[in-house]
Amino acid sequence: GDSVTQMEGPVTLSEEAFLTINCTYTATGYPSLFWYVQYPGEGLQLLLKATKADDKGSNKGFEATYRKETTSFHLEKGSVQVSDSAVYFCALSDRSNTDKLIFGTGTRLQVFP
Amino acid sequence: NAGVTQTPKFQVLKTGQSMTLQCAQDMNHEYMSWYRQDPGMGLRLIHYSVGAGITDQGEVPNGYNVSRSTTEDFPLRLLSAAPSQTSVYFCASTHFGGNYGYTFGSGTRLTVV
């Protein structure tokens, strides 16, 4: 079945460093791809999405490009802040039911001043 | 404030007890779902609903029951709690088909002793 694989964390960075969190997927078709963020003690929030190949989703300085040839959707940010410390989840839509999301295991990001 | 409201935020149960986790949304979303979040396993789908009167099983439905009598409410029932059901539970909702992204509640942390 469809699945999402994320790099294991935690990812530890200094403030203003460049961030990459890797995400690859397996799917029988052309799913939509998402990144969600979870701050401590809160629910998940949609960060960005891309619905077709070569689309780039972006929000709050974060970006991710839907790469069909490498089945990837890596999350990047040019300069992280302490406030970006959170858990990041990659997800894909189940094409048999486009409203059902399949999540990766999450990657914890810790940013230090 | 519009959104998804979950109650309670915390709950401790004894093995064998039953309880209902409440979820309500005021955005007129057709699609609602319940996930559980466990360390190292990401989010796993328990049950979902595409509208009032319609529910279906997700990846890990055993030990849980749901119903959807109104668009707004989607309660999750634990029939006979087990320690393996210790987890954080999230309710989420979205409009149908269009990859709008989910709105999540803030979660219920359940401990079964």
> Which residues, 6+ apart, have CB-to-CB distance to B39 below 8 Å?
none
Quick one: pLDDT at residue B53?
94
**Residue A101: φ, ψ to 5°:** -100, 140
Q: Is the pLDDT of residue A84 over 90?
A: yes
User: Cis before residue B61, ω within 30 degrees of 0?
Assistant: no
CB distance A46–B31 less than 8 Å? no
Q: What angle do CA A37, A98, B42 make, to 5 degrees?
A: 35
Contacts B99 to A, Cβ<8 Å: 32, 49, 51, 93, 98
Cβ <8 Å between A43 and B105: yes
d(CA B94, CA B89): 17
Take residue A89 and report the two structure tokens written for it. 């989840």
Take residue A45 and report the two structure tokens written for it: 């929030």
Arithmetic mean of pLDDT, A53-76 = 96
pLDDT, mean over chain A: 92
What are B6-60's pLDDT values in tens digits? 999 999 999 999 999 999 999 999 999 999 999 888 899 999 999 999 999 999 9
The verdict on a CB contact (< 8 Å) between A98 and B105 is no
Q: What is the mean pLDDT of chain B?
A: 93
Contact A98 B99 (CB under 8 A): yes
Task: Specify the 3-state DSSP secondary structure of B113.
Answer: coil
Note the pLDDT of residue B113: 97
Whether B84 contacts B62, CB under 8 Å: no
Candidate from A51, A100, A103 with C-beta closest to B48: A100
Q: Looking at the predicted structure, is the pLDDT value of residue B97 above 90?
A: no
Tell me if A88 sits within 8 A of A20, measured CB to CB: no
CB pair distance less than 8 Å for A43 and B58: no
Structure tokens at B49: 């609903």
Q: Which residues from chain A sit within 8 angstroms of residue B98, using beta carbons?
A: 98
* B100 pLDDT higher than 90: no
Nearest residue of chain A to residue B39 (CA atoms): A105
A44 contacts on B by Cβ (under 8 Å): 43, 90, 92, 102, 104
